[in-house]
Amino acid sequence: MEKKGIFDNPRNLKILLAALYILCFVSFAAELLIHKHTYFDWEKWPLFYGSYGFISCVMLVLVAKYIVRPLIMRDEDFYDR
């Protein structure tokens, strides 16, 4: 018999998603309520750090897929020679 994982039970998945949503809401509320000591003016924008992190992550994925991958890819039969 195959061993069941923790996320095979739909109830556990719902609990995890609820916790994630609550954590996101608390983080959002904290950013709007807590005073930030910033150096640049654009750091004062609401949700600047979350947006910056998301855009940076997307850019890293795109650079890896369209620039780095073609540089390091080998033919399918490269090791058969």
Residues 7, 13: contact at Cβ < 8 Å?
A: yes
pLDDT value at residue 67 = 95
Is there a contact between 36 and 43 (Cβ–Cβ < 8 Å)?
A: yes
pTM metric for this prediction: 0.63
Dump pLDDT digits (tens) for 25-70. 998 888 888 888 889 998 888 888 889 999 999 999 999 999 999 9
Three-state SS letters, 6-41: HHHCHHHHHHHHHHHHHHHHHHHHHHHHCCCCCCCH
